[in-house]
Amino acid sequence: MSKSNRKPQTLAASYGPNAELLAEVSDDLAVFRLNRPAKLNALSYALVDALLQALGDAETSDTVRAVILTGSGGRAFSAGADIAEFSGSVERGRAHAVRDFVRRGQSLTARIEGFPKPVIAAVGGLAYGGGCEITEAAHLAVAGRSAVFSKSEILLGMPPTFGGTQRLPRTIGRKRGLEWLLTGDVYSAAQAHEAGLVNAVVEDDGVLDAARALAGRITRHHGDAVAAVLSSVSRGLNVAIDEGLQIERQEFAALVGSACLDEGLARWLHRRSGNDTDDRDG
């Protein structure tokens, strides 16, 4: 596991020229709130850039151990791309559309998927298009009962471009993924849970609390061990199993001799001797 050489950052209260992203840190959790409620938190270029900047700060923060992504306004996690802005890029030609829209969106979802700290999507309301793709890229997801999901890009005459053609079938299976991608149908939170896109469905007013509780079950463990698991899974899923096993070996080897593993083993042995009632495994 490589460590960033960047100076540790303090998270801002908001990001973007018009506070497109709100940030708050409580204990060891950063909550990033997509903040374009009048536009159903549509992913403008400024919002995507703001989220990338905030993730960079969260990665190097000494305080933040997990990130929760959610939406403002209650009606939407995110309805997807800002279509008016995207249309302008398309009108300027292929190179502009790919650079402004596709590469920016793919950079965001790749950043989320490869993030060394847990990223949990707390989904309330609509999660369409790019909003669904953020959910796919997040390591874990919790949804409110009235949340709805759609791969709506087909309705615009295009495939998903933030990684949805790759991550969704890997997450919910090829045939089910193709059904979502090719129909543009709307799916309930219960259907998303049954498919494996979200980990849990809770009451609408309990989504953020459920995401916080899930994060707490993870952040009680050593951050280096958590990062090793995230790296092994995120990198390993995209390669052949032999290469994935090599990644797993590398992540383990990097922890040998570290405080993370030494302290974990010492706690375990101490507990086994009957001197400790802590039920954690690391």
Q: Return the CATH number at 45.
A: 3.90.226.10
Residue 158 burial (10 A CB sphere; 0-12, 13-18, 19+): exposed
What integer pLDDT is reported at residue 126 of this predicted model?
98
* Pair (249, 111) in one structural domain: no
Assess whether 212 and 246 both reside in one domain.
no
Decide if 9 is inside a domain.
Answer: no
Shared domain for 170 and 266, answered yes or no, is: no
Enumerate the β-bridge partners of residue 253. Answer: none
Q: Which domain holds residue 233?
A: 223-272
Residue 47 maps to a domain: yes
Confidence at residue 230, expressed as pLDDT on a 0 to 100 scale? 97
| DSSP tag of 234 | H
Same domain membership, residue 195 and residue 118: yes
| Domain-embedded: residue 1 | no
Q: Is the dihedral of CA 124, 169, 43, 87 positive or negative?
A: negative
When pLDDT is cut at 50, 70 and 90, the band that residue 12 belongs to is confident
- Point out which residues pair with 143 in neighbouring strands: 123, 201
Q: Which helix (H) or strand (E) holds 67?
A: strand 66-71
Those residues with Cβ within 8 angstroms of residue 133's Cβ, 6 or more apart along the chain or in another chain = 105, 109, 160, 162, 163, 164, 167, 168
Whether 137 and 185 share a structural domain? yes
pLDDT at 276 over 70: no
**How many folded domains does the chain comprise?**
2
The answer on 167 and 117 residing in a single domain is: yes
Residue finishing a domain among 219, 238, 257: 219
Q: Can you say how many angstroms the Cα of residue 157 is from the centroid of all Cα atoms in its chain?
A: 26
List the helix and strand counts (H, then E) for the chain: 12, 11
Neighbours of 174 (CB within 10 A): 10
In a domain, 4, yes or no: no
pLDDT for 176: 98
* Shared domain check, 230 and 135: no
21 SS3 class:
strand
Tell whether 5 is covered by a domain: no
89 and 179 part of one domain: yes
Q: 274: pLDDT confidence band, cut at 50, 70 and 90?
A: confident
2 domain-assigned: no
Q: Are residues 97 and 47 in the same domain?
A: yes
Please check whether residues 45 and 162 belong to one and the same domain: yes
| CB contact at 8 A, 170 and 237 | yes
Does 128 lie in the same domain as 100? yes
Residue burial 32-51, b: 16+ Cβ < 10 Å; e: rest = bbbbbeebbbbbbbbbbbbb
Beta partners for residue 141, in sequence order: 121
Q: What is the residue type of 59? A: E
Q: How confident is the model at residue 7 (pLDDT cuts 50, 70, 90)?
A: low
- Average pLDDT estimate for 116-134: 99
Alpha-carbon span 239 to 138, nearest angstrom: 19
Reply yes or no on whether the pLDDT at 282 is more than 50. Answer: no
pTM of the full predicted structure? Answer: 0.91
Residue 216 to residue 222: CA distance in whole angstroms: 12
The residues annotated with a catalytic role in the active site are 133, 153
Same domain, 55 and 192: yes
Of 219, 235, 263, the domain-final residue = 219
> Residue 203, Cβ neighbours under 10 Å: how many?
11
Does the residue 55 lie in any domain? yes
